[in-house]
Each structure stands twice: as C-alpha cells, then as structure tokens.
Amino acid sequence: MKPGAAELLAVLPQTQCTRCGYPDCAGYAQALHDGSADINQCPPGGAEGVQRLAALTGRPSKPLNPDNGTEGPRSVVFIDEDWCIGCTLCIKACPVDAIVGANKLMHTVIEPYCTGCELCLPVCPVDCIEVENVTGSATGWAAWSPEQAEQARQRYEFNRSRRAREAIENDRRLEEKAVLKLSDLAAHSQHTDPAVLDKKRAVIEAALARARAKREATP
C-alpha cells in the first residue's frame, strides 16, 4: 500500500534545511508521495534515512544524491556577539525559532533547539555566525534522535502558525488604517485637488478589495 505523505514525513529528520530541494520536510514528503521526488535527497537523514524511505516506499535503496549535499555530523550555529549588529535577519530565517534577540540588540542561539539547517548563514550581513560540529564522527540518524526530530517538527509547526497569525494581524491593522483614511480622505491627505483625491480613493478601495478577497480565500 502506498504510504501517505504524513507517514513519509514521520521518517524525515525535520531539520527543515531545504537541501532536498523543497521548502520544508513536509514539502519533500508530499513530493515523495506524489512520485516527483526520489528517496535519496535528504542529507541530514543520510544513508539510514534513504534506507528508511526505501523500506517505507518499496523503492530500491540508492546512494545519497550528491546534488543535494553530503551526509555529515550534526552542527549547531553560534553567533559572535561582538560582531552581531542586531539586524534580526537570522531570526526571520530560522525555521524553528532557535535564535532570540531584538532589533539592534545582540542575538543568541538556543543550542538545544538548533537543527543545524544553516539557513541563517547566507542572510547574515556581517558573517558573525559560526558553525560547530557537535556530534564528532556521528552522522545522519546516528547524530540525530527521534526525540530531537519530533521537537524540531513541533517547533517548526509553531513557527509557521505564529508567522501566519502575525501576517493576518498585520493585514488587519493595514486594512483598518486604510478604512479610517478612506472615511475622511481629505483630512488624511496633504492634497486638496479633487482629482488627486479621487485617484487615491480608487487606489485605496482597490487595495481593500484585494485584502478582503485574500481573507475570504484563506482557509
């Protein structure tokens, strides 16, 4: 019987590193289920991960695809606090909320939560993030436990729900601001030319219509 996407997701390491070529582990699991991805595209899972997927899908095992990366020890990132400028870009890039800090203030990594995805590295403008091997010669699933994978999955799902909630709240604030401006456009504008005000009114009304259509289309 063909495994479902949820079954396939359950045997992935949940690092959310995107090395498989998909935006997250769930995306890769869905592609495996659809048949559009191969079982050897997850470097964090390594050879054992390929074998787990082979056993679950009934496909023949094969070496890890080098185009997706190589199997290696688990790493954790650290931030050099002397160089950190507090830009928050690494916080936004972290899929499991393992980095804490605030704008223009020093950031730090919560080591037990870091999955070693390294997605924070390319966004750092001052290269203040360092990578450290924390599992020695242990690689793949030998460097990563089911408990860590489950923790990472839960933190990623919370991260996604939090970002979605924040996006909805931001859209609502912008919509309320637009409605207020539209209620008395002349008082909220530096322009007095009726033609200019009519043009601005049309732009705001169109933006509100798009926002409402987006909200209605969101499950």
pLDDT surpasses 80 at 66: yes
Q: How many CB atoms lie within 10 A of CB 86?
A: 13
The model's pTM is: 0.79
- Lowest-confidence region among 13-17, 82-86, 100-104, 206-210: 206-210
Question: For 106-123, how does the pLDDT look when each residue is reduced to its tens digit (9 = 90+)?
Answer: 899 999 999 999 999 999
pLDDT value of residue 45: 97
Is the per-residue pLDDT at 146 higher than 80? yes
Q: d(Cα 181, Cα 201) in Å, to the nearest integer?
A: 9
Give me the pLDDT at residue 21, please. Answer: 97
